[in-house]
Amino acid sequence: MNEVTIFIDFEFSMPEGRGQKGFFPEIIEVGLLAVQGGRQEQFSSYVKPRVFKRLSRRCKNFLNISQQQVDSGIPLQSLVAKLSEYNEAGPCKVVTWGNMDMKVLKQNCQIAKLQFPFSGEFVDLSMEYKRFFGDRNQTGLWKAVQEYGKDGTGKHHKALDDAMTTYHIYQLVEKDKKYLNRSESTTIGDRVDFSALREFLAQ
């Protein structure tokens, strides 16, 4: 069975300030691209917050999202059930930009007493990118794609657009890895200019 690779991005709720008692981030939007063999499937939805149901003004402004949009979204339980379907479709690899997406999903599942939906491999592509290019600091998603001379897909901080941009960076990095692995190590003949040596000896 072909491996399912899931490129996923969540957007989270935010507190108005630091003083919101007991606040924790909740998933309010999901975007994903599932790739299996040559087949691709997209999924995108707003998600209703369970505990802190009213979005802060800061959150609405930062994500350009409205209370009506999240109120019309799916419940967390439906999101987890949907992710479980992808996980059960074959050996599963989940690719995210950064580690917050899976951390928040795990926390949301624990608080809601839902089983975490993924059981396969997890790839933090931002760390892969950092190691591959030898960067000292982690690079933001859209800065990374711009460093490749490309543009991000759609709008930044829109879940499906960020998931698609993650997929495009993944393809670019994998292509570079294959190119480097394919490059054969040089021979002594590649490193020494024998024509110059012959001319020197002929003098």
Active site residue ranges = 11, 157
Complete DSSP assignment for 31-94: EEEEEETTEEEEEEEEB--SSS-SPPHHHHHHHT--HHHHHTSB-HHHHHHHHHHHHHTSSEEE
Give Dmax over CA atoms of the chain in angstroms. Answer: 87
State the angle between helix axes of 125-133 and 159-182 in degrees (0 to 180), rounded to the nearest 10. 40
Q: Which two three-digit tokens encode residue 112?
A: 């809601």
- 15-18 contacts at long range (C-beta below 8 A, 24 or more positions apart): 15/56, 15/58, 16/56, 16/57, 16/58, 17/58
As to burial, measured by CB atoms within 10 angstroms (0-12 exposed, 13-18 middle, 19+ buried), residue 150 is middle
| Dist. CA 91–CA 87, nearest whole Å | 7
